[in-house]
Structure 1
Amino acid sequence: MIDLLAAYAPWQLAAALAAAFGSAFVRGLTGFGMAILLVPILALALAPVESVLLANFLSFFIGMSEIRRLVRGAEPTAWRISALVVLLTPLGLFGLAATSEDLARFLIAMIALSAFAAVLLPRRSAAEPGHAATGAVGILSGLMTGYAGMPGPPVVPYYVGRDIPRETAKASMMLIFTIASLTGLVSGAALGILAWRLPVLAVMLFPAVLLGNWLGNHASGRVGDGLWRAVVGVILGGAALAALLRLL
């Protein structure tokens, strides 16, 4: 294990550990935000492709630890969106592999910024959107899963923007993100860009993810909806701003 991690400097490992814990806390608190926060921060220390695939490992691990609850609580729309994510993720990942690192970091920061803007939109009714809207969310989420490891920007406003129970929204989003992360890993392996040191690093970081997620879940029940949305918006905006400042 030590030999596989020798490619990383100590500061890179420390940054990855801190990012894993913080993003997992946000996931537990809100039901989303892990990849949106984790990938831009990891991309400051690691190559963009490694950042995306590492985030996929961690998202898959934590999702599988809760899979029964997610399947029980998710909306049927989560399965339709997930099917499109599976189909479109390889195309997004292929685009990432063909993009320069600087451009990839910039686009990932823009995606994080779009998620911040989406959280600020006013809520809509609880009615399920039409097939066209659901299909568009699935297509965009699949492309973003492959390119940036972030299925969230289209999915978050689809669920959080509707007046549905918070737990239903959280379970639906988490189920999509779990399936999306597995799809990203399978696509990365098929394209030959999945380095063996990444699952080793993910296993090393996973205890921090478990702890952060547990603390976030514990805090979730004590936070009202207004504060919940405000905290998420501030965190997402901060992550995007930090990534942009790094590029400048």
Structure 2
Amino acid sequence: MEPHSLVIILLAVAVGSYLQALTGFALGIIVLAIAVLTHAASISIVATTITIVAVPGIAIALARHWRHIDRASFIQTLVGLIPGTLLGLALLAKMSKEHTALLQLSLGGLIVAGGIALFIKPQPLASRSGPISFALMGLLGGLMGGMFSIPGPPLIYHYYRQPVSLQTIRTSLLALSGAMALIRLLMQGLQGELNQDVLSLGTLSIPVAILASWLYVRFPPRLSDLNLRRGAFALFVAMGGFISLTALVPDALPPANASAVVSPHHSTPAP
């Protein structure tokens, strides 16, 4: 990998890890979006790197706040998250070979939806949702997470509607993101997808993610929650919209780079 490309990816990991600690779901969105927009590395390598990076970064963020995890909903969501993640990985393998433009369009749409989910403030329900609803949202979140390393707006929106504290919501989403990352990492390891390129980039990215997560714990942002949401919303919509545009209009990017696709099955870096 070229030095400037490595710097771009590591900066993306730093920003994504900091926002992940803040929101509970931003790491995959930020790193995948920047990879597509800058062509710093092939999306296949970056997608698996996200999985490697997520685990220690989330662990650092949860170190002081793990007691805020809503254990009941976490277990109920995990019931759907596990099979959903496996299904998402299978769909990714198929779509990356046969429907690359659709895959990139789906990623762009998911990033836009993630921004919307972060910005809106759904009214809390009068009472907690039942176990079946958490399992179903876990299934949908796992499906999107298996494909893109992003838990997915349906799961995020569902948690933000629960009548619990914001700290509990964010910490629970972080824990679910960590569980999804472990599942993906295990499956990719069993399938032989953790090649030298991925492991090297992941090894370099882990300390960056840990430092960024520690910085969030030590120096949380002083901006208001509303301003943070507005900024993230604008960023996600802009990135997701452009990624969708490149899928619909390939000429929006240089021809040599227009075929970038989220896939863990091919590990040749983008030129």
TM-score normalised by the chain length of structure 1: 0.85
Match of 2:128 in 1: 128
Q: Distance in 1 between matches of 2:23 and 2:62?
A: 17
Q: Residue 138 of structure 1: CA displacement? A: 0.4
- What corresponds to 1:19 in structure 2? 12
Q: Match of 1:88, as an amino acid? A: G
Checking the alignment, whether the CA contact within 8 Å between 1:33 and 1:152 is kept in structure 2 is no
Q: Which residue of 2 aligns with 1:115?
A: 114
Which residue number corresponds to residue 229 of structure 2? Answer: 229
- Identify the residue that residue 82 of structure 1 maps to in structure 2: 78
CA distance 1:124–1:130, shift in 2 (3 Å)? farther
- After superposition, the C-alpha distances for 1:11-45 in whole angstroms (9 at most, x for unaligned) are 33122112101111212333331112222223443
Q: 1:56 aligns with which of 48, 51, 55?
A: 51
Q: Secondary structure at the match of 1:45?
A: coil
Larger radius of gyration: 2
From 94, 97, 101, the equivalent of 2:93 is 97
What corresponds to 1:158 in structure 2? Answer: 158
Contact 1:110 1:240 in 2 (8 A): yes
| Secondary structure of 2:9's aligned partner | helix
1:170 to partner: Cα distance:
1.4
Letter in structure 2 aligned against 1:47: S
Deviation string for 1:97-127 (max 9, x for gaps)? Answer: 2223444322211111111222343422253
Asked whether the 8 Å contact 1:152–1:177 carries over to 2, the reply is no
Which residues of structure 2 form unaligned runs of 5+? 253-271
SS at match of 1:90: helix
Question: Structure 1: how far apart are the matches of 2:221 and 2:201?
Answer: 31
Which has the higher mean CA deviation after the structures are superposed, 73-82 or 225-234?
Answer: 225-234
2: CA distance, partners of 1:241 / 1:219: 31
Q: Paired residue for 2:204?
A: 204
Matches within 5 A, 1:132-143: 132-143=132-143
Closer/same/farther in 2, CA of residues 31 and 149 from structure 1, 3 Å limit = closer
SS state of the match for residue 128, structure 1? coil
For the residues of structure 2 that align with 1:9 and 1:90, how far apart are their CA atoms? 33
Conserved 8 A contact 1:49-1:96:
no
Q: Tell me, what secondary structure is at the counterpart of 2:95?
A: coil
Partner of 2:128, secondary structure, is: coil
TM-score by length of 2: 0.78
2:27 equivalent in structure 1: 34
Percent identical: 20
Alignment of 1:214 onto 2:207:
no
Larger deviation: 82-91 or 124-133? 124-133
The separation in 1 between residues aligned to 2:217 and 2:166, in whole angstroms, is: 12
Comparing 176-185 with 238-247, greater Cα deviation is found at 238-247
Paired position in structure 2 for 1:3: none
Which segment is superposed worse, 56-65 or 93-102? 93-102
Paired with 1:17 and 1:186, the residues of 2 have a C-alpha distance of 23
CA RMSD of aligned residues (A): 2.4
Q: Is the alpha carbon distance of 1:57 and 1:231 closer, same or farther for their aligned partners in structure 2, counting shifts above 3 Å? A: same
Deviations 1:57-116 (A, max 9, x none): 111121233455454211121222123222221221122122234443222111111112
